[in-house]
Amino acid sequence: MTSRRSPSGPRPPWRAFWKLVATEAKLAVRTPVVLILSVGLPVLMLIIFGFVPTFNEPLADLDGLTVLSLYAPILSVFALGFLGLVGVSMPLAGYREQGVLRRISCTPAPPSWMLGAQLVINLGVAVLALLIVNLGIKAFGVSGPKHVGGYALAIVLCVAAIFGIGLWIASFARSANVANAIGQVLFYPMMFFAGLYFPREMMPGVLRQVSDWTPLGAAVDALQTAAEGSFPSAQSLLVMAGYALVFGAIAVKQFKWE
Amino acid sequence: MPIIEVSGLRKTYGDVVAVDDVSFSVEEGEIFGILGPNGAGKTTTVECVIGLRAPDAGSIDVLGLDPRTQREQLREDVGVQLQESVLPGKLRVGEALDLYRSFYRRSADPQQLLDLLGLSGKRDAYFKNLSGGQKQRLSIALALIGDPRVAVLDELTTGLDPQARRETWGLIEGVREHGVTIILVTHFMDEAQRLCDRVALVDHGRVVALDTPEGLAERVRGGKLVRFTPSAPFNDGLLTALAEVRSLEHQGERVAVYGSGDLVNAVILTLAAAGVTALNVELGAPSLEDAFVDLVGGAEVGDEPQGASGEVRP
């Protein structure tokens, strides 16, 4: 009952890692709660907002911007935030709880592959979500970001920050349910400060200052600035980089594999 | 030559001594049982053997490899079935096998494994829709997918119904016939007795006995029992003088003789020489369960083997 393959390095080939990614992707599609909430909800909101006439009128208060254009970065970070806080943390915590990580530790494949696989999958969904949201908003007549480089950098840092926090949740949460709860408890306040309920431009001074120091608030600030044509502020970028470094480092340091 | 050697293994978690001093060796091709009550240190012992945990003291050699420093190589050759490890509910049986197969350089044929484990019809079934026995069999299949030389099976049949347990036992014997050496961790006496060539009885982190299941049983309270009806009265001293006999007891018309070695022949021949015939001879032996209770403690047990423990055959 044996088929011999030629021996290679001490670790399984990368092909096996991509097999894991493909398998995990199938599982994500079969239980699509995270997909629906991270991609579906922003798209739904986009469609609703897109058909609200007042959201499409340039406002003098907003330097001639429409409310809808302010929601382009907010809906983008909605997708990124949910994927990072829940999409990354929930399966990893669940796999620790179920002993899947321990089981993989018993094979030649390292359990860190599972972590890598979740990052890859959520990153893939994030790219998809950003494409849909940004193309959708364009369809409603909002022009794309004017400073593309700054916009891309802000996206990258936002992903690093929020995925870092997601990994941090995964590093200690005892079960999928706990990770989901922590993720959502963090997500909604973060989205509040990102301007989901009323855009940052309409926030009173103190709220806006707090918002500047939250990861998704800083992300929206950076994305909005880049959309309008300027390079994002150093503060907004550094805040995101800081979250990424601090939470990423804690996560790596304390991640429990069993 | 043993292919697994463990000597002086010790592992503590803070103040708790999980494994105090465990030594044993496993021969190629055997089914080696690690038997003991819950919390005896069985799982920690095998976790050290497969390199999941680093021991505090002692040495472990598995297939000439050190589990601490040569984990990568070890994992190619040692398949593991873990206690309380489940797969994602919506993973299909075939997908699980394909995925785990890709982790190994060498691999078994998934279809043959599915056939061997009676899961051929379940290839496309979700893990969550499998019965307990089927989940356990898939778990065994995953332990074998890397075509290992050694398989470590931890609490294989816990939670299975009697029918599924017996089926699983049959499968394990089939696996051994493919040349796989098996370490079986269990707290079920009947499982160890049925499957294992040798058993290490572990309690409080120590090996309290290591022998064949029969040997362990025999070690207890003399070991064997012969019960018969004598054709004529005889002097008890005739039998109690024999080296094989430890004690003798009259039970109405019947006589029960406890002892060891070739007890039956010694008793029958000696009686025959005295002109007495032993009628309706019954043989009995204490079971591994008796040995377990005796060696690991628990309830105080009598000095006599009880034929009623299911081992008396006419």
Q: Check residues B309 and B207 and name the one with the higher pLDDT.
A: B207
Query: Is B177 within 8 Å of chain A by CB?
Result: no
Q: Is B128 on the interface with A (CB under 8 A)?
A: no
- Chain B closest-CA separation from residue A40 CA (Å): 22
CATH number of B2-211: 3.40.50.300
DSSP B17-73: EEEEEEEEEEETT-EEEEE--TTSSHHHHHHHHTTSS--SEEEEEETTB-TTT-HHH
| Confidence check: pLDDT of A197 > 70 | yes
Instruction: Quote the minimal CA–CA distance from B106 to chain A in Å.
Output: 5
- A87: number of CA atoms within 13 Å, CB side? 34
Q: Which residue has the higher pLDDT, B118 or A239?
A: A239
* B300 Cβ under 8 Å from any chain A Cβ: no
Domain with CATH 3.30.70.100 in chain B: 218-309
Find the largest Cα–Cα distance for chain B: 74
Q: Which two tokens stand for residue B55?
A: 């021991």
- The residue segments making up the domain with residue A31 are 15-254
Any CB–CB contact under 8 A between B109 and chain A?
yes
In chain B, CATH 3.40.50.300 sits at 2-211
Q: Is the pLDDT of residue A4 over 60?
A: no
CB A94 within 8 A of CB A175: yes
Q: Residue A247 domain-assigned?
A: yes
Domain count for chain A: 1
* pLDDT score of A114 more than 50: yes
Q: What is the mean pLDDT of chain B?
A: 86
Contact in structure between B49 and B216 (CB atoms under 8 Å): no
**A15-19, A212-216, B216-220 — which is least confidently predicted?**
B216-220
Q: Full-prediction pTM beyond 0.90?
A: no
Closest Cβ opposite residue A27 in set B88, B102, B109: B88
Judge contact between A24 and A91, C-beta under 8 A: yes
CATH 3.40.50.2300 is right for the domain spanning B218-309 = no
A1 in a structural domain: no
Q: How far is A252 from chain B (nearest CA, A)?
A: 19
Which of B252, B251, B193, B242 is CA-nearest to residue B222? B242
Residue of A nearest to B146 (CA): A107
Residue A30 covered by a domain: yes
pLDDT at position B290 is 64
- Which comes out higher in pLDDT, residue B206 or B189? B206
Judged by CB atoms closer than 8 Å, whether chains meet at A95 and B88 is answered as: yes
Q: How many CB pairs under 8 A join A and B?
A: 89
Say if the Cβ atoms of B72 and A5 lie within 8 Å: no
Among A7-16, A44-53, A171-180, B294-303, where is mean pLDDT lowest?
B294-303
For residue B5, give both structure tokens.
Answer: 């050697």
Q: Does B48 touch chain A (CB under 8 A)?
A: no
Domain membership flag for residue A116: yes
A14 contact residues in B (CB cutoff 8 A):
none
Q: How far apart are CA A207 and CA A210, in angstroms?
A: 5
Q: Which chain A residue is nearest to residue B110, measuring alpha carbons?
A: A1
* Mean pLDDT of the region A197-213: 92
Residues of chain A positioned with their CB less than 8 A from the CB of B78:
106
